[in-house]
Structure 1
Amino acid sequence: MALLSSSSSSDVQFYDPLELSTTTIWGNTNDATIAFLRHSEIKHGRVAMAAFVGYIVQANGIHWPFPIDFEGTPYPTMTSPPEQWDALSPAARWQIILFIGFLEWYSEAAGTHYMRGGVPGAYPKFSEYGIIPHPVPLNLFDPFGFSKNKSAESKANGLIKEINNGRLAMIGILGFISEQRVEGSVPLLKGLVSHYDGETMAPFA
């Protein structure tokens, strides 16, 4: 998202080349539209941070000590994360995608929606709303309760850091994938990541 404010960057005071701050989408108000865009950036930044860290961990051959299925299949031995994905069975890939789909559905279905007065970036607690048929011991957003007692100012500063880190992570994970597909496209990564001949945008190819 291109909505930057003085609170998230001391160098770029306001940058909105697509004029997203004054637009509306799907017949909603401007406030609801901005809430959607803010939530989208926060969410994609979180996914990118997880992907960036996960890429580094997988590329160094670090994985759980147990097999990947009940048949005893070991983890793939290659250190290229896209090739590791290709080595998974279709059932394993569907399991991952459907779980992510469930998290997305729950985020949209439970609690006060971020476009209707909710807080962009806040993920609803599993322990509330009665949507999940069995108890879940930990909540996704703040599983150990570290943030619930922080001040509003501390939470706001934490969100700014999260947004900036998410932006860097989006650039970082795209850099990894770009260099794997087109060698030399990211000079700093040349020779550090292996070439990948597959299709990164076709998860079942």
Structure 2
Amino acid sequence: MMKSILVAAAVAGASAFAPAQVGKTSTSLNAFENEIGAMVPLGFFDPLGLLKDADQAEFDRLREVEIKHGRISMLATVGYLTTASGYRFPDFPADVPAGLGAWKALASTSDGQNILGQMAIFFALAEAANRNVDWNDGWEPEFPGDYRNGSLDWGWDRFDDATKIKKRTIELNQGRAAMMGILGLMVHEMMGVSIIFPNPSGL
């Protein structure tokens, strides 16, 4: 019995990185059924019908938005849990709480406002850097969310196609999980029933 469970789990884990073959729905949607992210058990999942009449350009735009939100959410979740654990940068105001309460606390002091200003500059630079530049006409992104712009590689071009698909799928799934994770953390905090572990610093 245990061996059967382990085999089933292994098969499910392997299939998680393969596109799911789902039933035919409409001509416009069929083109997206084998895109990265359409996986078991849901397959191609579009409950709001955003892609009902979409072409490839619209799909790529929505996929890029999904990837960017996922990347931001991964950073947000790690940052939320890190501050909730009691960690602070050196000389960071000790009375600034973790979670959403940090925004109000920072905005109430001049030092905190300086920190918010630095954060705004960082966000602007990150947004400017993480996009396809217009002046590099000799380079085309390999996929939505590919912001290397012909200058960064990090060894990506040394991967074979199967490895690239696997890594893109992993990032997409982790981004989806992080979006749900940070949303859950924020909702629970606003409800007053935060699910984060107790802060050892008492903040």
Give the TM-score range, shorter chain. Answer: 0.5 to 0.7
Higher RCO, Cα 8 Å, sep 6+: 2
1:20 match: secondary structure: coil
> What residue ranges of structure 1 are gaps of 5+ in the alignment?
25-29, 68-73, 129-138, 195-205
User: Which of 36, 49, 67 does residue 42 from structure 1 map onto?
Assistant: 67
> Which stretch shows the higher mean deviation, 98-107 or 35-44?
98-107
Give the superposition deviation at 1:78.
4.6
Distance between the aligned counterparts of 2:48 and 2:73, measured in 1? 23
Match of 2:78 in 1: 53
Where is the helix percentage greater, Structure 1 or Structure 2?
Answer: 2
User: Structure 1 residues 76, 36: CA separation in 2 closer, same or farther (over 3 Å shift)?
Assistant: farther
Distance between the aligned counterparts of 1:43 and 1:13, measured in 2? 22
Match of 1:12 in 2: 42
> What residue ranges of structure 2 are gaps of 5+ in the alignment?
1-31, 107-111
* Larger Cα-atom Rg: 2
Distance between the aligned counterparts of 2:173 and 2:99, measured in 1? 25
TM-score normalised by length of structure 2: 0.65
1:123 match: secondary structure: coil
Match of 1:149 in 2: 158
Contact 1:46 1:166 in 2 (8 A): yes
User: Structure 1 residues 40, 46: CA separation in 2 closer, same or farther (over 3 Å shift)?
Assistant: same
Distance between the aligned counterparts of 2:177 and 2:155, measured in 1? 24
Q: Give the RMSD, CA atoms, in angstroms.
A: 3.2
Contact 1:49 1:169 in 2 (8 A): yes
Contact 1:7 1:160 in 2 (8 A): yes
> Which stretch shows the higher mean deviation, 172-181 or 149-158?
149-158
One-letter identity of the residue aligned with 2:85: N
TM-score normalised by length of structure 1: 0.64
Match of 2:104 in 1: 86
User: Structure 1 residues 40, 6: CA separation in 2 closer, same or farther (over 3 Å shift)?
Assistant: closer
User: Which of 56, 65, 70 does residue 31 from structure 1 map onto?
Assistant: 56
Percent of residue pairs bearing the same amino acid type: 27
User: Structure 1 residues 48, 21: CA separation in 2 closer, same or farther (over 3 Å shift)?
Assistant: same
Give the superposition deviation at 1:7.
4.9
Distance between the aligned counterparts of 1:183 and 1:87, measured in 2? 18
1:37 match: secondary structure: helix
Number of aligned residue pairs: give it.
159
1:12 match: secondary structure: coil
Give the superposition deviation at 1:109.
5.3
